[in-house]
Amino acid sequence: MNSESPRAGAVARPDGAAGGLSAAGAMPDQAVSVKGLTKTYKAAGKAPAKLALSSVDLDIPRGSLFGLLGPNGAGKSTLINILAGLVNKTAGSATVWGYDIDKEARQARAAIGVVPQELNVDPFFTPRELLELQAGLYGVPPAERISDQILAAMGLADKAEAYARTLSGGMRRRLMVAKAMVHQPPVLVLDEPTAGVDIELRQQLWANVRELNRAGTTVLLTTHYLEEAEELCDRIAIINHGKVIACDRTESLLARLDNKALTLIFDRDLPDIPPALAPFSPEQTAARRLLFRYHASDSPVPQILDAVCGAGLSVIDMSTEETDLEDIFLQLTRGAHDGDTHDGNSGTAA
């Protein structure tokens, strides 16, 4: 640990202190650290007991933009709610900004801000009033509140006195982020922040998230959009059936599969796959189009093109596709369902 100030939010308090945190505290290497975290929901009525998290280990480095991916019911929300102090764990331990969520609950909660998926803003309050109210709930003294600075950072300065009911959906999303930042937590959790929004709004929110992270805030992002995680996150964990089945830097995850695809479009229809190309097992996806799947490490493209020339065919267009996060997600979640968890349950991102 370093002996620096723990304040690492995107909007700095004038005195450098943190709401509920000591300005003289040490800055941890891991913004969030989870060890053996388990949560079992007790049976209720006819519903049986449910194991939501099973001995999860996960480290989220300070300053990272960390993606948490998983299908519905994988355990993402349970993990977030435990970190935020909304759900009690069954076993294991967790720290937020170095504070134990059980032994130092007040400090741990002060170190995290959570932006839920739901747009739960009071329509009869203005953005400034909502931020002032939220700051009061966190015990931030009036002299230390920076509501206007936060609104400006979220692009809402000109709407500070407008009733929340008059704001667009995109503005309300940004207002939710602003509410989570009133106590300037060094860790910000965004739960499905762009679910159900259009492309333009998604891009705006991405820009806001990047700016927060560049300013020093550690961001934990849960999302169903694989493109979003691939675009934003420097580290990603994949959770399924309550277990972390992969956790690594984004580029390292992508490198796990070296699958590539080569598409060739010819100048005439192909009634059948030419015998010279059969050894490469192409798929005919259209009358004039063949798809070749291969491992990049094998580099068979020159041989394929030689075979095309040998067959007397003329190529008018060609393209290649790299492995993307969706391929990895589907492979890993399918493997976990079959009992193969790849990385076991280790969640330390290198």
Same domain, 224 and 134: yes
Residue 2 lies in a domain: no
Written as tens digits, the pLDDT of the chain (350 aa) is 343 333 334 454 333 334 445 444 578 999 999 999 999 999 988 889 999 999 999 999 999 999 999 888 889 999 999 999 999 999 999 999 999 999 999 999 999 999 998 888 999 999 999 999 999 999 999 999 999 999 999 999 999 999 999 999 889 999 999 999 999 999 999 998 887 778 888 888 899 899 999 999 999 999 877 788 889 999 999 999 999 999 999 988 877 766 788 999 999 999 999 999 999 999 999 999 999 988 777 778 999 999 999 999 999 999 988 766 677 777 777 765 555 444 434 455 44
Residue 23 lies in a domain: no
Residue 289 lies in a domain: yes
Which CATH number is 202's domain given? 3.40.50.300
Same domain, 242 and 308: no
Virtual torsion, Cα 208, 210, 213, 214, nearest 10 deg: -110
Q: Write out the two tokens for 307.
A: 């075979």
Residue 287 sits in which domain range? Answer: 258-322
The domain total for the chain is 2
Same domain, 190 and 316: no
Widest pairwise Cα distance in the chain: 80
Q: Are the CB atoms for 20 and 6 separated by under 8 Å?
A: no
Same domain, 182 and 48: yes
Which residues neighbour 339 within 8 Å (Cβ) at sequence distance 6 or greater? none
Which CATH number is 293's domain given? 3.30.2130.10
The pTM of this model reads 0.75
Same domain, 232 and 265: no
Same domain, 144 and 250: yes
pLDDT of residue 161: 97
End-to-end Cα, the chain, rounded Å: 17
Q: Write out the two tokens for 64.
A: 């990272």
pLDDT of residue 321: 81
Same domain, 279 and 154: no
Integer CA distances (angstroms), 34 to 83, 86, 238, in order: 9, 16, 15
Size of the chain in residues: 350
Q: Rounded CA gap, 233 and 54, in Å? A: 25
Same domain, 249 and 293: no
Same domain, 241 and 269: no
pLDDT of residue 308: 95
Same domain, 221 and 300: no
Same domain, 228 and 125: yes
Residue 49 lies in a domain: yes
pLDDT of residue 335: 60
pLDDT of residue 8: 37
